[in-house]
Amino acid sequence: MVTTPAQTTETTHGATADGGRDRAKRADAVRNVEAILAAATRVLATDPDASINEIAKAAGVGRVTLYGHFDSRATLVREVVDRAIAQTDEALATVDLDGDPREALGRLLEATWHLTHRFGALVVAGSQVLPPEEMSRAHEGPAQRVRGLLERGRAAGELRDDMPVDWQVSVLQAILHGASAAVHRGEITADEAPALVRATTLGALSA
Amino acid sequence: MVTTPAQTTETTHGATADGGRDRAKRADAVRNVEAILAAATRVLATDPDASINEIAKAAGVGRVTLYGHFDSRATLVREVVDRAIAQTDEALATVDLDGDPREALGRLLEATWHLTHRFGALVVAGSQVLPPEEMSRAHEGPAQRVRGLLERGRAAGELRDDMPVDWQVSVLQAILHGASAAVHRGEITADEAPALVRATTLGALSA
DNA sequence: GATAAACTGTACACACTTGTTCGAGTTAGA
DNA sequence: TCTAACTCGAACAAGTGTGTACAGTTTATC
């Protein structure tokens, strides 16, 4: 699902606020917004300090065009982080978390791995421009899903319950990010990563 | 062991290169160099983008004084990272890695945990200004120690050997950094961290 | 006590980034 | 076809950070 930014302020070269226009946004404008968001996601995932100029170039648009769609770098980063979290939540929503907790955890990890690898350092970029509560709130949906499954596994005696569940969520995230970093360093391949993440995480969390 | 920077270029206010002076560095200069290195370590461990100004203030010296001892921000960061790695290697050298591999791993993790928590994002700061090979080389000593122990545990059948040993080294590092981040977020305390790290890592790596 | 080493605040130059303005050209959609 | 939406390069302003120069002050060591 593609979300486009709500432009609530007038842009500098006369483009009106959404509320004031007689018709929907032009097709090339819609395409450019999507190109900017995709480029920002890609670039910020590996370099959270990337400039507006670098993002605009990666998107194939001018800086003024980017500013025509996003009020500031912070606005763009917020939009990109929100989209990533929404896509994560949406992808996790399709994962079957019923049945055996350990098998469900394996399925969850498979889905989550791809998202973590794709979004990488985006969280760092977000942390630099967004307040901590906003970042925390953004993460709550996906984290709650994971926590719910871990609670079920602990209650069933399949996952260890001698450590805080929030710590277990952190471990899961740490292993996922570590796998992404290892792929970037060339130590493992992206194909090998899911199985390694699954085996390692299940080993760490199993009763 | 304190290492001081080798000043191979003349500084702006006439201080000569080490080779050219008739006597050792003054005591207050030695003290300032140590203050700068300690401040840089502390500041960069939590904010890898910290400016020269922030580091100088934290060290209680002027910016020009800092530039008197270090040619550039990159030079300072390199020195700080090298010191951290040397201190890590030195601390690990005192850990008894003989006997039962799992127990030895527990002792290694206890020592490593403190270092990881202390140095935190220093690695990020280093990665931003140093070439990848240099960062890799810097890590080789400590990583080799860990790898050696893991190989021994694998050969003894105590640690799982169905995954690459370099991946296991990455997992160990990921869990350590994850624990440090969890302490910073207030999810666990620094006192709880060692036991959690030990239990989780042994779970993840045990046969 | 003398003197060189060391420190410091101020100022400057340069580079980069963010955000804005302008005027001209292009494009999409009615 | 017409026109408003949209794009864009150039230029500008402001801010930040890095690194250098200067001149005066302070400190340590012989």
Higher-scoring residue by pLDDT: B116, A136: B116
pLDDT recorded at residue A6: 39
Sequence-separated (6 or more) residues with CB below 8 Å from residue B159 = B101, B102, B105, B150, B153, B168, B205, B206, B207
| Mean pLDDT of all residues in B63-71 | 97
Q: Radius of gyration of chain B from Cα atoms?
A: 20
State the average pLDDT over residues A148-156: 96
Chain A CA closest to residue B121: A124
CB-based contacts of A150: which residues, under 8 Å, 6+ apart? A105, A159, A165, A168, A169, A205
**Chain C, protein-covered positions (CB within 7 A):** 5-11, 16-24, 27-30
Q: What number of C-beta contacts closer than 8 Å exist between A and B?
A: 78
Q: Find the CB nearest B204 among A170, A187, A200.
A: A200
State pLDDT tens for residues B84-136.
999 999 999 999 999 999 999 999 999 999 999 999 999 999 999 988 888 88
Average pLDDT over residues A163-180: 96
Please, which residues 46-75 of chain A have a Cβ atom closer than 8 Å to chain B?
49
What pLDDT sits at residue B180? 95
Helix ranges (H only) for A17-164 are: 27-46, 52-59, 63-69, 73-93, 101-119, 122-129, 132-155
Q: Has residue B147 got a pLDDT over 90?
A: yes
Judge: B178–A170 Cβ closer than 8 Å, yes or no.
Answer: yes
In B, minimum Cα distance to A173 occurs at B178
Q: Is A186 at the interface with chain B, CB within 8 A? A: no
Contact state of A187 with B167 under an 8 Å Cβ cutoff = yes
pLDDT reading at B6 higher than 80: no
Mean pLDDT of chain A: 88
Q: How buried is residue B104: exposed, middle or buried, by Cβ count under 10 Å (0-12/13-18/19+)?
A: middle
Residue B139 banded pLDDT, cuts 50, 70, 90: confident
pLDDT at residue A22, rounded to an integer: 56
Using the structure, give the distance in angstroms from the CA atom of B55 to the C1' atom of D15, rounded to a whole number. Answer: 20
Which nucleotide, over all strands, has the C1' atom closest to the CA of B59? C7
Closest-CA distance of chain A to residue B6, Å: 31
B63 touches strand D (CB under 7 A): yes
Q: Which residues of B touch A183 (CB under 8 A)?
A: none
Q: Is B196 an 8 Å CB contact of chain A?
A: yes
Whether residue A160 lies within 8 A of chain B, CB to CB, comes out as yes
Separation of alpha carbons B34 and A46, rounded Å:
34
In angstroms, the separation between the Cα of residue B86 and the nearest Cα of chain A is 23
Spatial contact of B32 and B13, defined as CB atoms under 8 Å apart = no
Q: Residues A69-125: pLDDT tens digits?
A: 999 999 999 999 999 999 999 999 999 999 999 999 999 999 999 999 999 999 999
pLDDT band at B8 (very low <50, low <70, confident <90, very high): very low
Least confident of B6-15, B32-41, B163-172, B188-197: B6-15
Nearest residue in chain A measured CA to CA from B197: A171
Mean pLDDT of A31-36: 98
- The ipTM estimated for the assembled molecules is 0.85
Domains of chain B: 25-70 (1.10.10), 78-205 (1.10.357.10)
pLDDT score, position B135: 85
